[in-house]
Amino acid sequence: MHKIEIQKIEKLQSIAKDIRKDVIRMTGEAGSGHPGGSLSCVEILVTLFFHIMRHDPANPEWKDRDRFLLSKGHGVPALYAVLAKCGYIDQNLLLTLRKFGSPLQGHPDKRFLPVLEASTGSLGQGLSIGVGMALAGKIDKKDHKVYVVIGDGESQEGQVWEAAMFCSFHKLDNLCAIMDYNKFQLDGAIKEILDIEPVVNKWKSFGWEVFEVNGHSFEELINAFEEAKKVKGKPQIIIAHTIKGKGVSFMEENNYFHGKAPTKEQKEEALRELGKDP
Nearby residues of 201 by Cβ (< 8 Å), 6 or more positions away: none
Total domains, the chain: 1
Nearby residues of 49 by Cβ (< 8 Å), 6 or more positions away: 55, 68, 82, 85, 86
Q: Is the pLDDT of residue 266 over 70?
A: yes
**Residue 75: predicted pLDDT:** 98
Q: 171-206, pLDDT tens digit by residue?
A: 999 999 999 999 999 999 999 999 999 999 999 999
**Residue 4: predicted pLDDT:** 83
Does 16 map to a domain?
yes
Three-state DSSP at 9 gives helix
**CA 274, 96, 184, 268: dihedral to nearest 10 degrees?**
30
How would you label 197-212 residue by residue, b for 16+ Cβ within 10 Å and e otherwise?
eebeeebeebebbbbb
Does 278 map to a domain?
no
**Residue 237: predicted pLDDT:** 99
8 A C-beta contact, residue 34 and residue 259: yes
- Which residue range(s) make up the domain with 222? 6-273
Does 1 map to a domain?
no
Q: Rounded to 5, what percent of the chain is helix, strand, coil?
A: 45, 10, 40
Q: 81-102, pLDDT tens digit by residue?
A: 999 999 999 999 999 999 999 9
Q: Is the pLDDT of residue 133 over 60?
A: yes
* CATH at residue 52: 3.40.50.970
Reported as half-sphere exposure (CB side, CA atoms, 13 A), residue 189 has a value of: 4
